[in-house]
A and B are shown apart, each in its own frame.
Chain A
Amino acid sequence: MILTDIQLECVRRFTSPVRLEGLGKGLNVLAAPNEAGKSTLLMALRAALTLRHGSKAQPVKEMQPYGGGAPHIGVGFEWSGKPCWLEKRFMKGAFARLDLGQERFDGDTAEERLNALLELEKDGRTEATGLWNALLVRQGESFVAPVLNNAGRSSIQNCLEQGVQEVTGIAAAGALLERVKARLGQLQTAATGRPTGRYKQLLDDQAKAAENLKSLHAKRTALEEDLVLLEQTRRTLREQENPERQKQEEQELHKLREERDRLRNLDAEEKAAQARKAAALQQFQNIRDEEERRKEYRAECTRLEQVIAASTQELAELAEHEKAANLRYQAAQAECQKAVQQHQVRRAILHHVMQQREVQHMEAALLRQRENLKHVQERFAQIEQAQVAFDALPMDEAKIQRLRKAAQKVATLEQHLQAQATVLEMDLLPQAQQRVVLNGQACASGKSLLHAPAELQIEGIGRFIITPSVGGDTVELQQALQIAQAALTDLLQQAGCLNVEDAEQQYEKHCLAERQLKEAKAVFAATAPSKKGVNPDQVLLELRHVLAKEEAAYAQKKQTLAQNLASQIGSADECDLNCQPDEAVQQEQEAALAVDRAREKERDAQQALITAKTALDKANAAQQQHEVGLTRVQRELALWQGREPDVALAQRKQLCQQEQEAAQAAVEHCEHARQKERPLAVVESGIQRREQAQKTDGETIARLREDIRERETRVRGAEGEGLDERIAEADRLQQRLNMEVAACTRDRSALVLLDQVLSKAEQEQTARYMGPLVKTMQPAFSALFPGAELEMDADFGVAALSRNQREDVADLSDGTREQIAVLVRLGFAEMLHGRGVPAILVLDDALSFADPMRLERLFDVLAEAATRFQILIFTCHAQLFAPLRGRMLSLRPQESFTSPR
């Protein structure tokens, strides 16, 4: 198929007719600046090929110019060697016409014939789609891989199936899969797999039905409960309203009241008898108590008189005993005091002996300290001597170093000077020695160094002037030597030395004195090891200070001892005072034991005295108490007897007994009568209950009636609803829904499985037969990406390139992905062309991101492909696409739209 002519008018910016000129076989390039109408041209071409002329849908409206109008497009092309013409007008005056050679088709027939020619498929009422959509590449579309719709897939699958010997039937599988998916789509959503449509409705209905059934059963339960309670309530009400029952209750109440009155009278009688009996009993008890008391008092009188007689004798014995105890206590006190005094003396002696021993220790310590101080003072004197000797030798390390350095410098300069001096060596005969005079002095044999011009005079020979060759630095060396010698001399003077050897001797002495000083200090430090690191002066001062303090303490102690001896001990024996401390300790302990023993005796005697005194006091108190008691008892007995003699009391007691017996008889009579009756509390409770019941009967009846009315209303309501029937119906509905849901679930499972299995089979088969497509595309890919192998996916896109390693297309750069997408479209066109179906490729504003080398290769690929089918390239980069060397196209306005026939 070769496009030969494209005309359009009333398409967006082209309100007037315009024509694309220059179209022909092979590569065609339309290079024009932005907004020249390239994209509009492609839009018009797509519209002519794919949009139905009768449509007024959005894609058609988008073609209209701003001022409105009917888009009119004409496309001339050659097919099978015949000139063809396609012309369509949209919107007002819409028509379609297709001339295939001599054949002409109009209207829908033209559309169908065109679709058949291009293998397009109707997609709704507006558009026809197919692989051609992938071949007319709009601006920006070239960056993405072509997305194929069903017709496109079908078209490419047809191409591929033709290429393989075995018929794979992928299209049929696709159709089958489409049906499966459509059917499955009725049951679940494609994206999430959630139930949808009728299945979802059934599930919802099932849940609602279950809920409804549950609710109805709950109502049924409530109804049954209402029915039971209604029957009970009615029964209760009937009983409540029964007049016989009311009369009977009235009679019962009357009887109960009579019984209660009788019981109350009986109760009162019994209480009176009980009171009488209690009073008689109490009186009898009082009389008997009185008699008892009188008897007890008389006995008490007798007892007290006997006790008083016995206690008088005991008192005398206790007084004697107390007196003897007092005497024993006084004797023990005296002995104890004496022992205490003796012990105090022994303690003073012991203290004195211990103090005396301490003074002796202090004295010995003082002697040692004095000795030590003396020794330290001697060592200190040695240090002082060594220090004096050391201080007298000023030649120290620094000075000797400076001297050595100065002497070294002088020697070095002298050596340098000698090296530069003129050597005059003479070997003179003995008789000639006086005849040779150098600088006025007689010469001897040997070497002479001449630093300055010298005069040699040889007697009988003449006078020679020897002038040494004075170099550049000889004079400087001489000057430096003089300075060095002066410095050395100055240093020697400062050190008080005659020469360097003397200085060295001085330094050795200095070192020796230093060692002696160190040794003296070390000896001193060894004498006072506790003061290591402390200045010897300080140490000596501290020792003297300590000794002075010790001596003062010693004197103080001695004086105190003498004073104590005078004041505390006084008359002690001399031998006791001078005894050994152990002995003094023993004597003191013995004295202390004697004190303890004396105190023990004293405590025993005191205890005995206290016991005797206590017994005496107690006996005295008891005696007095008994006497008071006897007096009180005798007085009360006399008082009682005066008030009521014993005879009168006995008569009153007899009367009381008689009264008590009479009251007891009355109580027993009442009790006997009451045993035949019910308890009063029970009777009263019965009366109260019945009276209360009578009061509340009206309320109860009203409440029961109300309750019955309420329950009847509910029951009627449930009856009106036909609850049982509704339950049966709901049950039936739920069973049906359960069955339907189960069927849908089974259907869904089967369809899901079928979908999976078919999809898998289709992918596998697609992969199998994808070979021809890869084979078709591979040369172009190899030209652009040398050594690369293609990997295609089931959607006819390139999944990956394998060069040195596998690279997913998604990971490649935008430019590379665009180039791959263009090659894929080229491959599609190639496949269509190979199958004898019309095919061209139109690229709008593509390949702008390719590098020059890649673009050059791509041009080669496009040029090679253009030898088989037509390729149109629209670009705004004229220079960039100039090397393509295609036919240059141009858009030219024309006066009118010109159809070929």
Chain B
Amino acid sequence: MKFIHTSDWQIGKTFSFADDDTLGALQAARVDVVRNIGALARQEGAACVLVAGDIYEHETPERRTLHQPMERMRQFPDVQWHLIPGNHDADTPEGVWARLRREDAVPDNVHLHTCPQAVEIDKAHNAWLLPAVLKRRHTLSDLTDYMNDEVTPPDALRIGLAHGSVVGFSNGQEAKHNPIALDRAKQAGLAYLGLGDWHGFCQIDARTCYSGTPETDRFVTGGAGGGETLVVTVDGPCAQPVISRYRTGKYIWRKLEDIVLTNGEDIEALEARVRGINPDNPSIVMAWLEVSGLLGVDDLRKYESVILTRLQSAVACLRITGAPQLAAGAQDLERLDASATVKVAAQELLQMVEQGGEEGAVAREALQRLFLFWHEVEGAAA
């Protein structure tokens, strides 16, 4: 049997660093990835798509956000979509799943699993799905525990689907909530245990995998960084599953840390580095640059021109924290020789910069602007 494993669609997620246009594009991409998954299922001949929770980012999404993924799945009537709740969209009495049912928004090919019991999903292969259902955002008990004792017909292909943190796998905060036993697949006799919550692909053991989010949503993502969907082939209850990873995400997210700029070459290198992330199409690159360093007057202008103007327009999103500071020295003041008055002002600002402190920082910005305006004035005069 071949099926698709995915999770953490996080439909409706917002990104505080993005401007409105970028945000719209990112949100659209998260919805559109459902189509990519459907297409992948068709392409691979998989009749089922198992979604291991966190379909939605929010407990109370807007109506359009609520219906968008359902409508995308409706477009693939030949594919059966099996969904379980995650910590972001737990099955609470008035949660998203209750809303969907109430609004009769669930297509026939979409199955919401909100009861922890074995459900037959493929009669031909005698495949049974054992969903773990989160009834609230966080639980301290292992919701996959029941799978050990859940009865299925003889020789059934038992496939577990859960959302949470594998105990002992992560040392982070998330391990405290929604725990899942590391060897659940073995304990419960599962042919495969599909997990959600981890946004990057991560294989725990031969039968246990986090698919990661199909559309990357973080600069810092564990595992392989997300943007992938898994195609799983299981030939029998005891056969080892074959797991294939397919890229379904549109955007490439990268964080470049500790970038120190000291001259024009550094600026050019930085531009090349960012463009090199995806040379064929930089417009799908989301880059986060942590920049520092000291640049001369000309280099600072170059930085503004190359990075802040050119590169920013080239990529989908250029998030920059920090900035190179103006390293104006006495020699830089020579370019102001045309106006002794301006030079005097620049000298005073330079002195303030050298004294440091908050005033020094303001003076640095003022000096930076002085050179900028001076350049404009000279340009206008020319």
Interface residues of A (CB under 8 A from B): 166-170, 172-173, 175-176, 179-180, 183, 223, 227, 230-231, 234, 712, 715, 718-726, 728-729, 731-732, 735-736, 746-747, 749-751, 753-754, 757-758, 760-762, 764-765
Known: A173-B339, A750-B362. A757 touches B377 (CB 8 A): no
CB–CB A749/B362 < 8 A: yes
Q: How far is the CA of A252 from the CA of B196 in the complex (A)?
A: 52
Q: How far is the CA of A223 from the CA of B19 in the complex (A)?
A: 29
Known: A728-B14, A729-B14, A732-B23. A172 touches B338 (CB 8 A): yes
Q: How far is the CA of A736 from the CA of B14 in the complex (A)?
A: 12
CB–CB A176/B370 < 8 A: yes
Q: How far is the CA of A175 from the CA of B373 in the complex (A)?
A: 9
Known: A715-B94, A750-B365. A179 touches B60 (CB 8 A): no
Residues on A with C-beta less than 8 A from B344 are 761, 764-765
CB–CB B65/A751 < 8 A: no
| Minimum Cβ distance to chain B for residue A868 (Å) | 31
Q: How far is the CA of A482 from the CA of B339 in the complex (A)?
A: 127
Is B15 an interface position by the 8 A CB rule?
yes
Is B306 an interface position by the 8 A CB rule?
no
Residues on A with C-beta less than 8 A from B65 are 722, 725
Q: How far is the CA of A686 from the CA of B125 in the complex (A)?
A: 62
CB–CB A732/B349 < 8 A: no
Residues on B with C-beta less than 8 A from A764 are 341, 344
| Contact among A180, A719, A747, A758 for B60, CB-based, below 8 A | A719
Known: A176-B377, A179-B376, A758-B342. A227 touches B93 (CB 8 A): yes
Known: A179-B373, A753-B362. A728 touches B341 (CB 8 A): no
Residues on B with C-beta less than 8 A from A173 are 339, 341-342, 345
Q: How far is the CA of A752 from the CA of B381 in the complex (A)?
A: 25
Is B116 an interface position by the 8 A CB rule?
no
CB–CB A754/B62 < 8 A: no
CB–CB B345/A172 < 8 A: no
CB–CB B377/A172 < 8 A: yes
CB–CB B348/A732 < 8 A: no
CB–CB B340/A726 < 8 A: no
| Contact among A223, A715, A736, A761 for B342, CB-based, below 8 A | A761
Is B208 an interface position by the 8 A CB rule?
no
Beyond the given A175-B380, A746-B365, A758-B342, please list 6 additional residue pairs across the A-B interface where CB-CB is below 8 A: A227-B94, A719-B94, A721-B62, A725-B14, A728-B12, A750-B369
Q: How far is the CA of A760 from the CA of B60 in the complex (A)?
A: 58
| Minimum Cβ distance to chain B for residue A615 (Å) | 103
Q: How far is the CA of A170 from the CA of B344 in the complex (A)?
A: 11
The interface on chain B, measured as residues whose beta carbon lies within 8 A of the other chain's beta carbons, has a size of 46
Known: A176-B377, A231-B93, A729-B14. A170 touches B366 (CB 8 A): no
Q: Which residue of B lies closest to A170 (CB)?
A: B341
Is B374 an interface position by the 8 A CB rule?
yes
Known: A724-B59, A726-B62, A732-B15. A762 touches B94 (CB 8 A): no
Q: How far is the CA of A78 from the CA of B382 in the complex (A)?
A: 34
Q: Which residue of A lies closest to B11 (CB)?
A: A725
Is B57 an interface position by the 8 A CB rule?
yes
Interface residues of B in 320-358 (CB under 8 A from A): 338-345, 348-349, 352
Known: A719-B99, A746-B365, A749-B362. A724 touches B342 (CB 8 A): no
| Minimum Cβ distance to chain A for residue B18 (Å) | 8
Residues on A with C-beta less than 8 A from B229 are none
CB–CB A754/B370 < 8 A: yes
CB–CB B345/A758 < 8 A: yes
Is B43 an interface position by the 8 A CB rule?
no
Is B163 an interface position by the 8 A CB rule?
no
Contact string against A for B residues 290-308, beta-carbon threshold 8 Å, 1 for contact and 0 otherwise? 0000000000000000000
Residues on B with C-beta less than 8 A from A732 are 14-16, 18, 23
Is B368 an interface position by the 8 A CB rule?
yes
CB–CB B340/A728 < 8 A: no
Q: Which residue of B lies closest to A755 (CB)?
A: B366
| Contact among A227, A231, A729, A751 for B366, CB-based, below 8 A | A751
| Minimum Cβ distance to chain A for residue B341 (Å) | 4
CB–CB A168/B61 < 8 A: no
| Minimum Cβ distance to chain B for residue A450 (Å) | 128
CB–CB A180/B342 < 8 A: no
CB–CB A757/B345 < 8 A: yes
Q: How far is the CA of A173 from the CA of B380 in the complex (A)?
A: 14
| Contact among A234, A723, A731 for B16, CB-based, below 8 A | A731
Residues on A with C-beta less than 8 A from B58 are 722-725, 728
Residues on A with C-beta less than 8 A from B365 are 746-747, 749-750
Is B63 an interface position by the 8 A CB rule?
yes
| Contact among B61, B339, B340 for A725, CB-based, below 8 A | B61
> Which of A170, A223, A753 gathers most chain B CB within 10 Å?
A753
| Minimum Cβ distance to chain A for residue B104 (Å) | 14
Residues on B with C-beta less than 8 A from A758 are 341-342, 345, 370
Is B92 an interface position by the 8 A CB rule?
yes
Q: What 4 pairs across the A-B complex have the smallest Cβ distances? A: A169-B339, A722-B62, A724-B58, A173-B341
Is B363 an interface position by the 8 A CB rule?
yes
23 examples of A-B residue contacts, CB within 8 angstroms: A169-B342, A170-B339, A172-B341, A172-B377, A172-B381, A173-B341, A173-B345, A175-B380, A176-B377, A179-B377, A719-B94, A724-B12, A731-B14, A736-B19, A746-B365, A749-B362, A749-B365, A757-B349, A760-B348, A761-B344, A761-B345, A761-B348, A765-B344
| Contact among B12, B19, B341, B373 for A762, CB-based, below 8 A | B341
CB–CB B60/A723 < 8 A: yes
Residues on B with C-beta less than 8 A from A172 are 338-339, 341-342, 377, 381
CB–CB A750/B368 < 8 A: yes
CB–CB A722/B342 < 8 A: no
Q: How far is the CA of A712 from the CA of B93 in the complex (A)?
A: 11
